[in-house]
Amino acid sequence: MVFHITQDSEFVEHIPCPVCGSSDANSLYSDGHTFCFACLTRTHSNNTTNHNHQVSNVQLQGSARRLQSRGISERTCELFKTYKDGEILRHYYFDSNGKVVGAKVRTKDKQFRCEGEVSSLFGMQNFRHKTTTKEKRLIITEGEMDAMSVYECLPWPVVSIPNGAAAAKKAIQRNYEWINHYDKIVLFFDNDEAGQKAAKEAASVLPPSKTFIGFLDEYKDASEAVQAGDTEAVRQVLNFNHTQYQPDGIVDAKTLLELVTTPSPPADHDYPFDGLNKLLHGIRYGELVTVTAGSGVGKSSFLREICADLLIKGERCGYLALEESNRRTALGLMSVAKRRSLHIGEQQRSELTEIFDETIANWNLHLFDGFGSYDPDHIYNRIEYMAAGLDTKVIFLDHLSILLSGLEGDERRMIDTTMTKLRSLVERTGISLFLVCHTTTPPNGQSHEEGGRVQLRSLRGSRSIGQLSDAVIALERNQQSGSERDVTTVRVLKNRYSGEVGEACQLKYDLNNCKFNETAATKDFNAETDF
């Protein structure tokens, strides 16, 4: 079966292939037809489909001729079985047994087609493996002309992937066993965005220890360099100018000199509480801080005091209160700033307007207007927008349980997934994220609402909350005690920055001025009870 790729239509975009399942090897053209460079399936604009099934009668036609304009000799064309038949040029493909099975065809009117099966590596029939030892080096290029151009520069084992950059990874996977027989593999793809991307994707399925990537600096590919007469540039890439593939996430520590010698401040901001500063050494961008306590202990009030303090200092803050209205959040922050209970009782409009102008109107504050909308992906998106689009440095998320309410499934797994995504957001954007988390009910002993000790294992649902947080701050208050009902113990359960943990301070909340008044810590850290 034969089918054509015409040059009359223009490439539009890469799309998934319904035949082979490739996510991006299928190409859509302006006249409506598609062609998959992975499975070589063409779909016409009328939705009829041609599949390039193996043809048993593909035979060598024509003969080897010097390709003068390409700088490729007749000898190289004969070796690789690139034959001219009148005005038709064919690159022949062979199976692992050395039998010709297909051809890439270019006609005089610049149409391209495939005949037979084109899925092996172009040129692989020339480099039969020895049975006793591995071959030393293999060069893999993006196109047939590139492979022959490389061979003109250095007569080393060189092959080409069959269907271009879009299908490079699948071609490597399909021929992995043959490729892996070599001790060193150099991917020598085109020096453009598509080629560089394809080289990394192809390298990801090969052994990293013996996979290298090389590009030409001044030319698009090897063919262009040979046409320009610069064979030395190709030899330099093959001999020296290639680097070992390094998978994402692996960093050579020797490259970290600039990173470790760049001074960083101990903190970007102070906490409004001296005792907390003493242990945590301030607020830093790029950290995830979890605040936990029992129900009604004062987590939201604690967060609002930190947020208002930062806003007054001129910081850009985002606030996502998932279980209260923006009116309540705004009035709460205004109350902290002005030391007045504006959210309780009725206030004069003129007075509220004046306070608003003195506070929120002058702050760099953005709120989330989505009360009742708890789709986690929606929340992640809004946090990232605040960070990247609005240049927000500190964001408050209150609270985790509400975020999870839009999900179904195992709670522990949901928390693990959510915390991982929030951690990734912090790392990617560099924000400081304050997250509110509830505690679980103690199996025995005093409840957290009655002043019971909060520990890391008290975090509700999963160990990942503590593991992925840079700091964990616990609030303890006995709501039923007459004399201590307004006294909150602030305890640091985790501190990745310095390791200092324990009771930080005690705070007494004054309802009249909406302020936490700090007193010194009364107890030292106890390793047996604080974990």
pLDDT band for 26, please (50, 70, 90 cuts): confident
Radius of gyration from C-alpha coordinates of the chain: 33
pTM for the model stands at 0.58
Q: What is the pLDDT of residue 5?
A: 42
| Contact partners, residue 71, CB within 8 Å, separation at least 6 | 149, 152, 226, 227, 229
Q: Does pLDDT of 114 surpass 50?
A: yes
Give percent of the chain above pLDDT 90.
Answer: 55
Q: Does pLDDT of 513 surpass 70?
A: yes
- Domain extent listing, the chain: 77-85+119-244, 274-520
Q: 112-121, 203-212, 420-429: which has the minimum mean pLDDT? A: 112-121
DSSP 249-308: T---GGG-HHHHHS---S-SB--SSHHHHHHH-SB-TT-EEEEEESTTSSHHHHHHHHHH
Q: What is the pLDDT of residue 54?
A: 45
Per-residue pLDDT of 130-184, as tens digits, reads 555 566 899 999 999 999 999 999 999 999 999 888 889 999 999 999 999 999 9
Structure tokens at 260: 């470790």
Q: Report the C-alpha gap between 181 and 138 in whole angstroms.
A: 9
Q: What is the pLDDT of residue 524?
A: 52
| The CATH number of domain 77-85+119-244 is 3.40.1360.10 | yes
* Residue 173, SS3 per DSSP: helix
Smallest Cα–Cα separation from 363: which of 335, 389, 337, 325?
Answer: 337
Smallest Cα–Cα separation from 347: which of 363, 371, 327, 367?
Answer: 327
Q: What is the mean pLDDT of residues 189-209?
A: 92
Helix (H) or strand (E) holding 85: strand 82-85
Q: Report the C-alpha gap between 304 and 307 in whole angstroms.
A: 5
Average pLDDT over all residues of the chain: 86
Q: What is the pLDDT of residue 292?
A: 94
Q: Does pLDDT of 447 surpass 80?
A: no
Q: What is the CATH number of domain 274-520?
A: 3.40.50.300
DSSP 446-467: --TTBTPPP-GGGBSS-THHHH
Q: What is the mean pLDDT of residues 24-33?
A: 75
Q: Does pLDDT of 494 surpass 90?
A: yes
Q: What is the mean pLDDT of residues 264-271?
A: 85
Q: What is the mean pLDDT of residues 239-265?
A: 83
Q: What is the pLDDT of residue 89?
A: 94
Q: What is the pLDDT of residue 56?
A: 54
Asked whether the beta carbons of 224 and 71 are under 8 A apart, the reply is no
Q: What is the mean pLDDT of residues 363-389?
A: 86
Asked whether the beta carbons of 490 and 275 are under 8 A apart, the reply is yes
Q: What is the pLDDT of residue 53?
A: 45
